[in-house]
Chains A and B, each alone.
Chain A
Amino acid sequence: MTTFQSVFASFLSGDGELYRILGLTVCMTLLSTGFSVLAGFPSGALLASSSFPGKKLLRRIIQTFMGLPPVVAGLFVFLLLSRKGPLGDLSLLFSLPAMVIAQFLLIFPIITSLTLSAIESKQSAIRQTISTLGLPRYKMYLLMLWECRRSLLTVILTGFGRALSEVGAVMMVGGNIQGKTRVMTTAIMLETGKGNFGTAIAMGLVLLILAFIVNIIANHFQEAVYE
């Protein structure tokens, strides 16, 4: 119980170490979710509004990648960025960009696939409206995304949650280096390994609170959309 309180005390008093870990976690999560949204929204919209042979197959492949095990994504990025790997010269391994790349591999399929479903469920209604406007293609996509903004917010939250909770991939390619690539989940793993269960569970709670705050903000936006 004392370790428990001490973690919260150090959290409230602004202890440097914990804040650095938390800051890095937020930074990494925002970056990987952001990039995935930037790439996933257009891909989803494009897929929803076009039809071509093999679309069904492509869709199933993307859906399969939604369940990509984090360690597999981590292993892939590790081999890619390793000194002996094809991108070894960039020396990106064990850095924040490496973690963002690995997480992108995990979250991009989720965002794409969910965006595709969200748009498809509304498509017929939107299509009719949009086609009467005679807009250029890219504006049509934007309008389509805008019309689905409420469900797309949930899509972003899903990706965000995956990024926040993921540990296997970031452990592998980030390396859990103190002050450089240590995020909340890997820090929790470390404290558990040390046998500091109280500290570990307290950090887990901090992570949950963070997720809760993000959800409150997102719900606020969602309600604003309704009004």
Chain B
Amino acid sequence: MTQSLKDKLVIILLAAVIAAFSITFIAIEEQVEIFALLVFAAALVLGGAKLGITASIAQSLARNERLMNFAFIAATIAVVFWFREDHFPLLMIATVLLYVIACCGLNIQFGFTGVVNFAGAAFFGVGCYTAAVLGDTSVPLLLVILLGGIIAAIVGSVLIIPVLRTRGHYAAVVTIAFGLLFRTFLEVNDTLGGPQGLGVSGMNLFGWDFNNNIEISENLEISFYMNYVVLALIMVILTFVLMRRIERSWIGLNFDAVRLDETAAACFGIDIKRWKIVAFTLGNFLAGTAGALYAMMLGFIAPSNFAFSDSLILVSIVLLGGMGSLWGTILAAGLVVLLPEKLQVIQEYRFLIYAVVMILILLFRPQGILPRGLRAYIPGWRG
């Protein structure tokens, strides 16, 4: 069997295993079974790493990037299709997808460029409130998603001067203060619903109402969340392509140079301010678009959704996955969103356990679960 054929088989098999695992994980309800599945998966991954299988799979993946991307999209579609009639699993999947988009935004900001942002949930929230306010107007809803991003970017521009002038902890405080300010503002502002929040109209695309179940036949009624999953998946793919293209271009290189050594970067003509502005604005834009669709999907938003702890969750996803690592972000978003939902036993203890796990990861695997590799400008090309 040739190398390339073997690679392809490995990839397809891997995608199939991931799809099967995800379906099982989402479908089973028994706590014991869920625990067993998690332990099994952990053993598989650790064992694979020990035997060098993980490394050889990684090589197969790197050699066939295009196929890998398609295989994983196919796997996602398979999972989504499996749960076509069930509201809750689809809601969870869509939530994971939207978190992925928001965390990609954060990745541009501090994974790539080193601009810390502890107000991720606030920019996500700007998108949500944009959708809530514009939802009832005649603005086309697809445009509302775009506007959610644009308005988040504009709101973010208020912070550009302090963010550009500060570094490290000082920059962290700017965004933490903004996050708290944003939430307090929402709570006391009556026009935006105060602490009770606002209702949001669902997505409607050229007359296609996203909030109605899709009746295919008498015994097949697809959950209306499918609409949101599909749209979110399209948005994730677009975001992913954008992120990849940024990373594999001179822009990505400039971002890295700014993050790693501002002084050296400036001595080689890199405009620190320009790239920080680009990264900060683009990141907030992505968070805003994700927020807009999220609000339409939930149909209701309140200030308590955008607390400091929610910003922390977004930051943790980025760190858990590995700074700047796209696949890492996807995996981490899945874990962080799904685990607490599935492990009902720990529901009450979930923040506690989650915080302990984060501490352990930061202490023992600070590079994240799937660390970002070196930049491959052109996949498979090494000069």
Q: Decide whether A and B assemble into one complex.
A: no
Binding site for A on B (CB under 8 A): none
